[in-house]
Chain A
């Protein structure tokens, strides 16, 4: 039963991560792979606030999201000024650099990881309560992002992706919009980080590396860019798949690369064979198909 709870919580967290990542790269058209690092920042910030400063866990989780949001604004402000390409380069550098910092500082637990993170709900109300909490946050995230994407803001995001110059010439502020999208998406990832930290009570920099980036990219691309349910299906399917592989009892030195190969080749196959993903985006403001550009 414990195992089942763990899997459901992980799925809920991946739903938050994939949905918010889809918001950033799909709806916002912002190419970044640093989503896991905002997840990491949220996790570390929340864990340290609760463990070392005695902040109540629920506030620590919210603060973790906020700190991830602020970090993402700093990254977006510095790299988006020039062009979208610099965001991807900046995001890779930011991800690897931040993980490098976490590895080298002693108060983050270094490469060995941070343990003894205070738990939340599990001890008082039982693990079921935490499952409900994670699932509720995941559902709220999906509904919130869907509401934004289908309203007037979604229309504007679509226009911005289509033609940024014409968009700006009509008086719309594309830069503010991009930063808002990036900040919201990254803040949600930070929130997920806090939820992760206080359930598993141990985090290490290795959990947020490029493998995690590939996994999220796979969930979104395989599930379907810019569709509400695609990334959710992607998240659940791709969370279940590696779980299934773990049953085969492979040594970790084989398992890690194998998962990496699985994720990256799935992205490649879907990019070339079925760019719309498993679930194609609904007709409303779908955006041009990639091939049509």
Chain B
């Protein structure tokens, strides 16, 4: 082909860690002939091919859909979860955002609640635990009424969609100076609190989800706003405020459990 891609040399510093208990360290690797059209993960693929042929273990990193929707890819690139570009996941970050000769440091998401499995791969099951504790509407299959019996104004539906768009990637936790999961939790709390379907369990849901979140080793929100800036789906900080007021109200109104059948 006549046209030549712009290629560059990139100096990588990549975190390697054998297991959760391993100390871990950085390795350095220079990638040559990097095309500007490559995605960041494709660069990692190329690095891995070189490592394998040298007999080294490939760098473990989570990735799947590579179109920015599954939330599997992670990585902290030069200090930024999902790299420097806003509203972008690592898989959608392209090398044209970097310059020839750039030094790039790649680290895993770091948080006590997300222990490193190996290299850049971390364990995010804590998020599933938060959802398990209440991130749903309790409706059994087959018992639903006609969909149009629940009218929802367009603005409310759009607001709910905005927060429901969370992909659960964990960048909010990774970016937060406190390793807080407030944005993730508040996105689901908001989604359900905004919609009529979520009203019946509204109070119990926020109590359960917040308590679970706090028990999993996440830090507390201190309103720095790092989560919002790093969120690939731009979930707004407003949802944390919403979770706060939902939580206080529910907490204040909560009744002590009655001993049923007790003495």
Question: A and B bound?
Answer: no
Measured CB to CB, the residues of B under 8 A from A are none
